[in-house]
Amino acid sequence: MPRNYAAADITVLTGLQPVRKRPGMYTNTECPNHLALEVVDNSIDEALAGHAHRIAVTLHSDGSMRVIDNGRGMPIDDHPQLKRPGAEVILTTLHAGAKFSNTHYRFAGGLHGVGVSVVNALSEKLQVTIKRNGSIYSLSFVQGALVTPMHIVGKCTLQERGTEIHFYPDQQYFDSVKFNGEQLQKSLRCKAILLPGLQVNYTDEQNGTYEEWCYDGGMSTYLQELTAERSLLADAIFQDDVEEDDQRVQWCIQWDTDGWGDNIRESYANLIPSGGSHVNGLRSGMIEALREFCQFHKLLPRGIKLVPDDLWNCCHYILSVYLTNAQFSGQTKERLTSKECTAFVSQIIKSRFSQWLNRHIHYGEQITAIAITQAQKRQKRATSRRMRGTPTALPVKLADCTTRDRSRAEIFIVEGDSAGGSAKQARIREYQAILPLRGKLLNTWEVDAEKALTNKEIQHISAAIGLPLGTDNLNGLRYGKVCILADADSDGAHIATLICALFWRHFRPIIDAGHFYIAQPPLYRIASGNRVVYAHSDRERLSILRQEKKSASIQTQRFKGLGEMNPLQLRDTTLSPDKRQLMQLQIASENDIREMMDILFSKKRANDRRQWLMKHSVSGH
């Protein structure tokens, strides 16, 4: 390792180099669907601004993607400062675009100015064709670099206009360069639904699929199609479209009479699928309006107080907001973070839902009855847990599963809030629950149950699994599998061992009954050409590299923690039952394990612990 560290050692990445160096920061590297949507969203922004009414998307048999719109066409004149055509600037410069102001786009999804330049950076080749001012212009790129400058290739009528982008995803940046056609079709159809009058065409040459969507009925027709086989509160549809102060919100909501099902919940911000602040506003506005309705009509039984989930768990909804300055959590725009949107949506929803409930009192009473039933079930579960000696409420941090079948239910006790966030997105919501822990768990090896329960994280574990410390009765256990999910490195092993000590010492029947597992996330991701494999240790990594040594291009990524894995990677490698490795903790030798735990955790055996660490250290010191 060099000892000197000077300014000359600092690398400055320019142009598209940051994207090609760290593609996972800009897109989803599982497959190139996000690239396709970045291009489509630029066309959608033209439609939102009223300049386009037709978009055509083609997945070619050679694996490339072509997107054509009849918008205004990318600028072909030179940028005043950079002295290059506008289209070239857009495709080669990060944070370059016309959406940082409201001059040309009042509402837009492409807000960061990096979307289509990321597509260019991560494509083997990309060609742009622009129809504008009676001429057809073309320019092309290879691996993000301009190879054919803008030039005129033909003539068109003055009425013809638009942009065509044809790109070939570069396989070195993706686990698979194959587009997910089913997901693309769903995304494109939603764009057409949310923009009535927009014609969207989709062609898949690989399987001969052709679809054309153009909706005039909007989201209510769409939601009714999705809920056609559900048990719904008949004809009770709450929908509206409200615009105030350069913000707009549209919604359509229906109620499920059963509740606690796998509900239809879709939310969009500037036509980008995303959760976040607008969903929070919908949730709070609805429960406030229902509480006021119940209070005015005296509908609540004594002892019942409605919480948001009592209403939320029995509704299906489509929500769409339009903001002039939308803020997202990252380039993939999975979460809207605009704080002012929560207040805006909450205020509108509360006002309109209150009016709707009081105009349709019979529906309001039925919705209240459904919510009360959910509240009573919730209180019954809380009472049952209290009788078993566990805390009265589930931890706020617990993302619970929906199934009530214990044999299918799984809980993953996850190291850290960051990893917990990734795990919540990666999980299979129906039967997988996530409980994130903060920091290293208390060493409970020589601690009794009363003292252990003074630790908040242990309280959360006890409440989540449904058992008090020291119990011999597993009747209250809420999950058939209790799993540790920690980082694959030494710090993760330390935390996993602390959790093992807790369960050995205070929840031993769970281990004895075969309910306790340790998840095995990978430590490395190794890409060789279009083949991706994962290694769980340094030894496994070296073995894979020896097997792949003939490959000219091998990329190795070491995961610093679970939070560094994107949700799809975490699901495929660690949570998916078809691909994961779960190690069941079994007792081979009672005395040997007890002795090992005592060496690792007993305060009186610090010298034995030091000798053990020296003996088993890789470096020997």
| Element spanning 120, H or E | helix 115-121
3-state secondary structure (DSSP) of residue 316: strand
DSSP 528: E
Catalytic-role residue among 491, 548, 598, 608: 491
In this structure, the number of other CB atoms found within 10 A of the CB of residue 429 comes to 15
Catalytic residue chosen out of the listed positions 489, 540, 564, 598: 489
Q: In what order do the strands lie in the sheet with 410-415?
A: 432-437, 410-415, 481-485, 516-519, 582-584
Strands, DSSP E only, in 330-390? 335-336
415 is catalytic: yes
Distance CA(299)–CA(469), nearest Å, equals 40
Between the alpha carbon of residue 296 and those of residues 34, 86, 134, 290, 301, the distances in Å are 48, 60, 65, 10, 13
CA–CA dist 562, 425 (Å, integer): 12
**Which tokens is 229 given?**
């086989």
Burial class (CB in 10 A: 0-12, 13-18, 19+), 523: buried
SS3 at position 495: helix
> Among this protein's residues, is 405 annotated catalytic?
no
Residues whose CB falls within 8 Å of the CB of residue 359, separated by 6 or more in sequence, listed in order: none
- Helical axes 361-387 vs 339-359, angle rounded to 10°: 120
Q: How far is Cα 380 from Cα 398, in angstroms, rounded to an integer?
A: 19
Residue 441: CB atoms within 10 A of its CB come to: 22
Task: Kindly name the residue from 46, 415, 457, 572 that is annotated as catalytic.
Answer: 415
Measured between alpha carbons, how far is 122 from 39 in angstroms, rounded to an integer? 13
62 is a catalytic site residue: no
235 burial level (CB within 10 Å; 0-12, 13-18, 19+): exposed
The CA distance from 18 to 548, in Å, is 27
Cβ 147 vs Cβ 140: under 8 Å: yes
> Is 9 a residue of the active site?
no
- Give CA–CA dist 165/87, Å, rounded: 11
Report the alpha-carbon angle 510-513-517, nearest 5. 60
Burial class (CB in 10 A: 0-12, 13-18, 19+), 533: middle
Determine contact, residues 124/143, Cβ cutoff 8 Å.
yes
Q: How many CB atoms lie within 10 A of CB 545?
A: 16
d(CA 406, CA 249): 40
- DSSP structure string for 578-593: TT--EEEP--S-HHHH
What is the rounded distance in angstroms from the CA atom of residue 229 to the CA atom of residue 340?
A: 37
Give, for 164, the enclosing helix (H) or strand (E). Answer: strand 162-169
* 45, 164, 175, 487: the active-site residue: 487
Catalytic positions, written as ranges: 415, 487, 489, 491
